[in-house]
């Protein structure tokens, strides 16, 4: 079996071994692949693994030997799954590998907004405590999150874990799942939460759900956390709300266009914490991802369905 990995650097920049995958067949790994390089590099391959390289019907038609596509991520919108199904090409993804690490980043954001650890540590190193007239000082507002209302939009594995951690901190937690909850629950989260965490997939019916209208219904000084997808947010509306103080803090690991563009208004907005889509990337999570990728291929070779997303 010939296996081609198109953009392996994201999941494995060199700190994890490819050896287990190499046992599955003849393995070729590329760190990065340009769109025009996909077909030449995959020609003759039985299995192709991708993270962000797009594989549409035209690519599949040019690769008659292709039998399997493995997505090295949970989201598989880079694959034309319908086209793959028509061509009897198996497609798999990697579910639930980053639950702990994404939930961890949600609370890294929340705790930074609550205690401003980074800002205060920098202030100490700059001599501000040394020069203080008092035995201690703080130059940012400090907040206790116990008792605060945490609203979670999206109660899959990650949202459920965020809820567990929130309760451990003594927060009042409300979660919304479109398949299990009435819309009134979502409206309650929008209107009543002190902190809102987005942990839902991006779909046509929720794109831009955090827009000017939704923000107007939020409590003054709300904290907004997005570790899901940038398309859930109307970024200009969020910037306007930050400028007015309606939103106190906005924290995001994702934006509408990635890598972020220099023209993104969030880069100049006040009280914004942006990280470069790293919630999924701790070593432990990526080891789980790689192990699952190997197991997916092994199951396919053995004629078993594991983490299949094709029809």
Shared-domain flag, residues 35 and 155: no
Shared-domain flag, residues 257 and 114: yes
Residue 311 within a domain: no
Shared-domain flag, residues 204 and 63: no
From 41, 87, 277, 298, the catalytic residue: 277
Shared-domain flag, residues 239 and 123: yes
CATH of the domain at 118: 3.40.50.720
Residue 309 within a domain: no
Banded pLDDT at 276 (limits 50, 70, 90):
very high
Shared-domain flag, residues 93 and 112: no
Shared-domain flag, residues 14 and 79: yes
Q: What is the 3-state secondary structure (H, E, C) of the chain?
A: CEEEECCCCCCCCCCCCCHHHHCCCEEEECCCCCHHHHHHHHCCCCEEEECCCCECHHHHHCCCCCCEEEECCCCCCCECHHHHHHCCCEEECCCCCCHHHHHHHHHHHHHHHHHCHHHHHHHHHCCCCCCCCCCCCCCCCCCCCCCCEEEEECCCHHHHHHHHHHHHCCCEEEEECCCCCCHHHHHHHHHHCCEEEECCCCCCCCCCCECHHHHHCCCCCEEEEECCCHHHECHHHHHHHHHHCCEEEEEECCCCCCCCCCCCHHHHCCCEEECCCCCCCCHHHHHHHHHHHHHHHHHHHCCCCCCECCC
Query: What distance in Å separates the CA atoms of residue 226 and residue 234, rounded to the nearest whole number?
Result: 12
Interval 76-111: pLDDT, tens = 999 999 999 999 999 999 999 999 999 999 999 999
Active site residue 26: no
The residue range of the domain holding 92 is 2-97+283-301
The per-residue pLDDT for 133 is: 96
Q: How many domains does the chain have?
A: 2
Active site residue 20: no
Residue 310 within a domain: no
Residue 27 within a domain: yes
Shared-domain flag, residues 117 and 248: yes
Shared-domain flag, residues 128 and 23: no
From 161, 229, 286, 288, the catalytic residue: 229
What's the chain's Rg over C-alpha atoms?
22
Active site residue 120: no
Residue 32 within a domain: yes
Shared-domain flag, residues 111 and 258: yes
From 26, 187, 258, 284, the catalytic residue: 258
Interval 152-211: pLDDT, tens = 999 999 999 999 999 999 999 999 999 999 999 999 999 999 999 999 999 999 999 999
Residue 308 within a domain: no
311 has a pLDDT exceeding 90: no
Residue 223 within a domain: yes
Shared-domain flag, residues 131 and 210: yes
Interval 232-274: pLDDT, tens = 999 999 999 999 999 999 999 999 999 999 999 999 999 999 9
Shared-domain flag, residues 195 and 76: no
CB 99 within 8 A of CB 158: yes
Residue 306 within a domain: no
Interval 7-20: pLDDT, tens = 999 999 999 999 99
Nearest-10 Cα torsion for 155, 156, 162, 167: 50
The per-residue pLDDT for 249 is: 98
Q: The tokens of 164 are what?
A: 């567990």
Shared-domain flag, residues 51 and 177: no
């Amino acid at each position: 079996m010939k296996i081609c990995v198109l953009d392996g650097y994201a999941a494995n920049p060199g700190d994890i071994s490819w050896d287990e995958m190499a046992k599955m067949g003849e393995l070729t790994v590329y760190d990065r692949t340009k769109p025009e390089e996909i077909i030449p590099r995959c020609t003759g391959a039985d299995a192709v693994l991708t993270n962000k390289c797009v594989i549409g019907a035209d690519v599949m038609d040019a690769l008659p030997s292709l039998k399997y596509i493995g997505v090295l991520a949970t989201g598989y919108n880079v694959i034309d799954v319908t086209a793959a199904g028509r061509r009897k090409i198996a497609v798999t993804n990697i579910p639930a590998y980053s639950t702990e690490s994404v939930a961890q980043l949600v609370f890294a954001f929340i705790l930074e907004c609550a205690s401003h650890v980074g800002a205060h540590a920098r202030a100490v190193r700059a001599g501000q405590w040394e020069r203080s007239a008092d035995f201690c000082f703080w130059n940012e507002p400090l907040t206790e999150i116990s008792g605060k209302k945490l609203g979670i939009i999206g109660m899959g594995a990650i949202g459920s874990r965020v809820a567990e951690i929130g309760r451990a901190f003594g927060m009042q937690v409300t979660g919304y799942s479109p398949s299990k909850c009435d819309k009134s629950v979502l409206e309650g989260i929008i209107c009543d939460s002190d902190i809102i965490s987005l942990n839902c997939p991006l779909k046509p019916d929720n794109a831009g759900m955090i827009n000017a209208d939704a923000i107007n219904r939020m409590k003054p000084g709300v904290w907004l956390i997005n570790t899901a997808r940038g398309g859930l947010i109307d970024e200009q509306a969020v910037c306007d709300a930050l400028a007015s103080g309606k939103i106190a803090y906005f924290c995001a690991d994702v934006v509408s266009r990635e890598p972020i563009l220099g023209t993104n208004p969030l880069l100049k907005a006040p009280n914004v914490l942006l990280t470069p889509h790293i919630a999924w990337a701790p070593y432990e999570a990526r080891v789980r991802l790689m192990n699952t990728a190997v197991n997916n291929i092994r199951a396919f070779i053995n004629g078993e369905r594991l983490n299949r997303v094709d029809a």
